[in-house]
Structure formats: C-alpha cells, structure tokens
C-alpha cells in the first residue's frame, strides 16, 4: 500500500493518515512532522526550514526531495507507506515518480481531501498538539479530557504556523503550488476525491472505500 494524501492545510490528512498507519502497520511519513522534529533538534535542515515554515511558505523542493528519498530507503517502507504532505509541488510529484520507477515501484492511490475554506480555518484555529507524544486534538471537535493537557500529562501547544496571518499565506501557497497535483494524479488515473466535511469516523470510512474500490474520480 503506497498512498499519497493530498489536500489543503487543516483538512485532516494527518488525522486520517495516523489512523490508517496503525490499522495497516505501514509508516505514516509526514514531511511537516519530519521538518518540525528537525527544527526542534536544531539540525541544519531544521534551521534552514524554520524561516519558510514560520512564514507559511514551502521549504525548497530539493531539501524535501532529499529527505523523502532517504526516508524511502528505510526498511520499514518495504510493505508500503502513507505520504502525508508530500508531494506538494509538481516538481516533487515528478521526483517521487522517478524515484519509484527506479526501484520498479509505483504509487497505488492519491487521496485528495476536500473541505470548504471556512471549515479549514476552524479546524486549524482549534488545533492543539502535544510536544511530547505528538497527539493532535481540537478544542471543539476532539478536545482532550482535561482542557489544555494531553492524556500523557504534557501541556498542549498551538503550532506557530497555525496563527491566522500565516494560515492565510499557507492557503494561498496551497492553491498556487499544491493544487495542480490534483490534475497531475487525475491524469494518471490515480486520484480519489474524499469529502472531508464529515466526522473523523465518516471520513475514515470513505478513505477505506477509496483504497479498496480504487475508484478514479
Ligand atoms: P504540514 O505539517 O504538512 O501542514 P499542512 O499540510 O498544512 O497540514 P496540516 O498539518 O495543517 O493539516 P492536516 O491536513 O494534517 O490536518 P490535521 O489532521 O492536523 O506542513 C507544515 C509546513 O511544513 C508547510 O507549511 C511547509 O512550510 C513545510 N512543508 C511540509 N511538507 C512540505 C513539502 N512537501 N514541501 C515543502 N514544504 C513542506 O487536522 C487539523 C485539525 O482538525 C486537528 O485539530 C484535528 O483534530 C481536526 N480534525 C481532523 N479531522 C477532522 C474531522 N473530520 N472533523 C473535525 N475535526 C477534524
């Protein structure tokens, strides 16, 4: 199972990828998480990525493509993986296709999650995450048992790039640079469109249907 999860910021890609990854025991490879870990550890990649992420811009293609090429060489990817947040530009999509071709592999499906912009903004505004165990909550839609505290006991935080001024920029970047990938995967017969304007469980059901029916939109 080699899947690409595509869609705007805050649509719920990470939430669904995490569930599916546990269910099928394939790694959830989220470039956003990899970059945030690099930033926290102050690695050279993290230091380079910080200014882009804080401004809501994309990290340069070459940096991300290298990260993914290295990650896909790891042993745990042999049975498949879920790519969440990669590719994000046509250049990244082409690089992924080329890398897979070289090893005789291919993407099975690209799932495109759709949600009206006003709902995206609500989901992003209420997102809180745990800096220790990385669990993601929502203040209204998926609140923690104790307000502001993860079940692991750590205080929840809001991502710096989830502040309204940066979110506006991220949405614009998505429209200009990432949305063209919808057509890219459609033309290759790999795209499934998922209506993400449902509960987490209902979206998960649609994800299953898309993977197993392999319907092209
Ligand atoms: P990244 O971390 O990938 O951010 P994103 O794509 O903007 O996606 P999000 O993490 O915001 O949202 P999501 O769709 O995963 O939603 P979630 O499940 O959390 O990237 C961050 C930055 O890193 C980028 O801006 C860029 O700078 C850089 N970067 C990353 N990849 C890159 C690449 N390939 N190239 C270049 N730069 C790159 O859900 C959101 C909220 O909604 C949560 O609170 C959740 O609990 C809630 N929720 C989820 N589903 C539902 C539901 N069905 N109903 C109600 N609430 C829900």
Q: Does residue 15 form part of some domain?
A: yes
Instruction: Give pLDDT, residue 216.
Output: 43
Ligand 1 centroid, distance to 63 Cα (angstroms): 19
Whose Cα sits closest to atom 41 in ligand 1?
123
In this structure, the chain runs to a length of 217
Q: Is 22 a residue of the active site?
A: no
Mean pLDDT for the stretch of residues 145-167: 95
Find, among 50, 90, 41, the residue nearest to 188 by Cα: 90
Q: Tell me, what CATH number does 96's domain have?
A: 3.40.50.300
Instruction: Give pLDDT, residue 214.
Output: 58
Q: Are strands 109-114 and 2-6 parallel, antiparallel or unpaired?
A: parallel
Instruction: Give pLDDT, residue 213.
Output: 75
Domain coverage including residue 105? 2-117+172-216
Both tokens assigned to 215: 């319907």
- pLDDT level of residue 198 (50, 70, 90 thresholds): very high
Q: Does residue 138 form part of some domain?
A: no
Q: Does residue 34 form part of some domain?
A: yes
Distances (CA, A) of 107 to 69, 140, 148, 211: 14, 35, 38, 12
Q: Are strands 127-129 and 136-138 parallel, antiparallel or unpaired?
A: antiparallel
Whose Cα sits closest to atom 56 in ligand 1?
141
pLDDT in tens, 47-75: 999 999 999 999 999 999 999 999 999 99
Residue showing tokens 């995450």: 129
Mutate to test the pocket of ligand 1, among 10, 18, 68, 172 (most ligand atoms within 8 A of CB): 10
Q: Does residue 14 form part of some domain?
A: yes
Q: Does residue 57 form part of some domain?
A: yes
For the chain, the domain total comes to 1
Q: Does residue 37 form part of some domain?
A: yes
Within 10 A of 116 (CB to CB), how many other CB atoms are there?
10
Q: Does residue 137 form part of some domain?
A: no
- pLDDT level of residue 212 (50, 70, 90 thresholds): confident
Mutate to test the pocket of ligand 1, among 50, 66, 115, 123 (most ligand atoms within 8 A of CB): 123
- pLDDT level of residue 215 (50, 70, 90 thresholds): very low
Alpha helices in 41-85 (DSSP H): 44-55, 61-71
Q: Does residue 87 form part of some domain?
A: yes
pTM greater than the 0.85 cutoff: yes
């Amino acid at each position: 199972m080699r899947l690409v999860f595509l869609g705007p910021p805050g649509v719920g890609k990470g939430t669904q990828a995490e569930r599916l990854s546990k269910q099928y025991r394939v790694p959830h490879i989220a470039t956003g998480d990899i970059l945030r870990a690099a930033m926290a550890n102050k690695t050279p990649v993290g230091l380079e990525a910080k200014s882009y992420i804080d401004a809501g811009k994309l990290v340069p293609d070459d940096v991300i493509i290298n990260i993914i090429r290295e990650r896909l060489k790891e042993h745990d990817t042999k049975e498949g993986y879920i790519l969440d947040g990669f590719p994000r530009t046509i250049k990244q999509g082409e690089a992924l296709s080329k890398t897979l071709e070289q090893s005789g592999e291919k993407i099975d499906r690209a799932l495109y999650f759709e949600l009206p912009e006003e709902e995206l903004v609500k989901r992003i505004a209420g997102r809180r995450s745990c800096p220790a165990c990385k669990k993601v909550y929502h203040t209204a839609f998926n609140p923690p048992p104790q307000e502001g505290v993860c079940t692991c006991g750590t205080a929840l935080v809001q991502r710096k790039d989830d502040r309204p001024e940066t979110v506006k920029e991220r949405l614009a970047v998505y429209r200009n640079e990432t949305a063209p990938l919808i057509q890219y995967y459609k033309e290759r017969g790999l795209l499934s469109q998922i209506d993400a304007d449902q509960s987490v469980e209902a979206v998960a059901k649609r994800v299953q249907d898309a993977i197993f029916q392999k319907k092209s939109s």
